[in-house]
């Protein structure tokens, strides 16, 4: 159709970068900036991407395999490729939010990670994707956390993700975006200058009846769902967890358990010691402490330390299937993606998320083909040129630099 009518844009996009460009055109500037921003100067989110580009493939020119198997399992759940949806809060960049993402992941045979700060309920999301992992922060009382876990379990969540890599570092050198607590008429009026510039975004929210932007998975019995900032306030007032607290959380859940946010070798060992099934090497997409190294730089040392005890995943900076292949070559079981699918959601709803996942699969398959393998299980460090000094070994006792 676009060839006959050149002014009609093809809904399919061919790169994640194009999805990002379209999301910037669709979303109000303040909403878009919330998707791309990191903390402070934003060095870490940039390094998350740049580090992948430093790793170079060593492809073969003959002997390629006609068939390639991209499937694997994540904590016992079969998936069509080693990619899962990372839990991100309040995906209300479109009214359908997490349910659209969950359906897209289900249609592609992938796991949905659902944030406790999501805009849709765990019951709605597990109905859309039976392979949903529920994510929790250490927030509120133990009784409240126990209730949330019971609710997720009753809804059919297959695993629990404990996110530990979000600190109180929230300042940004370029300013934090202003996001309304509730999509009221007053909020719409306040955002009118942006809404006028983005009429399609404004129209979809008007058609949806301006639903409240709340976090229903943090609702307690007999209470209304808190707003995002109300829930955020509870989190900031909850004392941070100890390792004993995290061991209690794992024991209380009783099923497959992932700890997300590891960059240090010593933390990885402690996580394995308390019995987690998987860890995700992650710096919260650069929204934690700025100048934390790219997560891919920390992956290899963590795999060396605990890869024989737990499944090791990677989260941060994944934008294409080649990035997935590089993470697997360094020992990751799978990767989690965040911004990439959110840009797809903004660009074209559920179909946009499926578009992003298809691009990931195509890129991964191309890498496995070029490297001469028949399965992702064959990917290894010999498929890469790893520059000297690429890795960051955090948490090991080393000689102080001043005394060398």
Instruction: Note the pLDDT tens digit of each residue in 42-74.
Output: 899 999 999 999 999 999 999 999 999 999 999
Residues 349-357: what's their mean pLDDT? 98
Q: Which of 359, 241, 318 is nearest to 51 (CA)?
A: 318
Q: How far is CA 181 from CA 37, 119, 210, 220, in A?
A: 19, 12, 12, 19
Question: What's the fold here for domain 16-175+214-387?
Answer: TIM Barrel (3.20.20)
Give bridge partners of residue 112 from the DSSP assignment. Answer: 85, 132
Give bridge partners of residue 280 from the DSSP assignment. Answer: 260, 313
C-alpha–C-alpha distance, residues 335 and 327, integer Å: 7
- 402 has a pLDDT exceeding 50: no
**Cα angle at 29 between 25 and 31, to 5 degrees?**
100
Q: Which two tokens stand for residue 154?
A: 């009753």
Task: Give the three-state DSSP class for 151.
Answer: helix
- 155 has a pLDDT exceeding 60: yes
- Alpha-carbon torsion 68, 74, 78, 84, what sign? negative
- How high is the pLDDT of residue 213? 77
- How high is the pLDDT of residue 249? 98
Q: Which two tokens stand for residue 127?
A: 């109905």
Residues 360-380: what's their mean pLDDT? 98
Q: Which of 51, 91, 34 is nearest to 323 (CA)?
A: 51
Confidence tier at 403 by pLDDT (50, 70, 90)? very low
What is the 3 state secondary structure string of 307-369?
CCCCEEEEECCCCCHHHHHHHHHCCCCEEEECHHHHHHHHHHHHHHHHHHHHHHHHHHHHHHH
C-alpha–C-alpha distance, residues 159 and 190, integer Å: 40
- 342 has a pLDDT exceeding 70: yes
- 147 has a pLDDT exceeding 90: yes
- Domain ranges, ordered by start, for the chain: 16-175+214-387
Task: Give the three-state DSSP class for 291.
Answer: coil
Residues 351-361: what's their mean pLDDT? 98
- How high is the pLDDT of residue 349? 96
Q: Which two tokens stand for residue 48?
A: 């998350």
The residue ranking higher by pLDDT, 203 or 125, is 125
C-alpha–C-alpha distance, residues 242 and 150, integer Å: 22
The residue ranking higher by pLDDT, 286 or 392, is 392
- Considering only 47-56, 146-155, 163-172, 273-282, which range has the smallest mean pLDDT? 163-172
Confidence tier at 168 by pLDDT (50, 70, 90)? low
**23 Cβ neighbours under 8 A, 6+ residues apart:** 32, 35, 93, 342, 343, 346, 347
* Residue 284 annotated to the active site: yes
Residues 196-205: what's their mean pLDDT? 78
- How high is the pLDDT of residue 397? 62
C-alpha–C-alpha distance, residues 137 and 251, integer Å: 16
Active-site residue, from 64, 284, 373, 385: 284
**282 Cβ neighbours under 8 A, 6+ residues apart:** 165, 260, 261, 262, 263, 295, 314, 315, 316, 336
Relative to beta strand 257-262, strand 132-136 is unpaired
Confidence tier at 181 by pLDDT (50, 70, 90)? low
C-alpha–C-alpha distance, residues 292 and 283, integer Å: 7
Map tokens 């921003």 to a residue. Answer: 37
φ and ψ at 325, to 5 degrees? -60, -40
- 293 has a pLDDT exceeding 80: yes
C-alpha–C-alpha distance, residues 98 and 122, integer Å: 10
Task: Give the three-state DSSP class for 164.
Answer: coil
């Amino acid at each position: 159709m676009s060839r006959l009518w050149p002014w009609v844009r093809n809904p399919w996009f061919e790169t994640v970068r194009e999805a990002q460009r379209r999301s910037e055109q669709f979303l109000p500037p303040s909403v878009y900036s919330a998707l791309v921003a990191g903390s402070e100067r934003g060095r870490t989110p940039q390094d998350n991407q740049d580090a992948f580009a430093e790793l170079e493939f060593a492809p073969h020119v003959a002997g390629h395999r006609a068939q390639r198997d991209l499937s694997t399992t994540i904590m016992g759940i079969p998936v069509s490729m080693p990619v899962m949806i990372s839990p991100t809060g309040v995906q209300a960049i479109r009214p359908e939010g997490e349910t659209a993402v969950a359906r897209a992941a289900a249609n592609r045979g992938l796991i949905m990670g659902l944030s406790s700060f999501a805009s849709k309920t765990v019951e709605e999301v597990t109905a859309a994707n039976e392979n949903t992992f529920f994510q929790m922060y250490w927030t509120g009382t133990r009784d409240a956390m126990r209730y949330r876990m019971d609710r997720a379990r009753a809804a059919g969540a297959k695993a629990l993700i404990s996110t530990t890599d979000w600190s109180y570092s929230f300042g940004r050198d370029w300013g934090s975006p202003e996001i309304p607590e509730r999509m009221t008429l007053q909020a719409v009026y306040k955002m009118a200058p942006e809404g006028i510039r983005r009429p399609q975004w404004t129209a979809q929210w008007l058609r949806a009846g301006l639903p409240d932007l709340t976090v229903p998975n943090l609702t307690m019995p007999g209470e209304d769902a808190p707003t995002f900032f109300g829930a955020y306030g509870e989190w900031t007032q909850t004392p941070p967890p100890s390792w004993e607290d995290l061991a209690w959380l794992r024991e209380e859940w009783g099923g497959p358990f992932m700890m997300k946010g590891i960059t240090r070798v010593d933390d990885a060992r402690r996580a394995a010691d308390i019995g987690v099934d998987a860890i995700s090497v992650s710096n919260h997409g650069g929204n934690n402490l700025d100048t934390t190294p790219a997560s891919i730089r920390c992956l290899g040392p963590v795999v060396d330390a605990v890869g024989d005890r737990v499944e090791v995943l990677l989260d941060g900076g994944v934008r294409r299937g080649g990035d997935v292949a590089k993470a697997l070559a360094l020992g990751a079981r799978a990767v989690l993606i965040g911004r990439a699918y959110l840009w797809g959601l903004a660009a074209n709803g559920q179909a946009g998320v499926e578009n992003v996942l298809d691009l990931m699969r195509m890129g991964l398959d191309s890498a496995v083909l070029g490297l001469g393998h028949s399965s992702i299980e064959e990917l290894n460090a010999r498929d890469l040129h790893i520059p000297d000094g690429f890795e960051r070994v955090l948490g090991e006792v080393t000689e102080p630099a001043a005394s060398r």
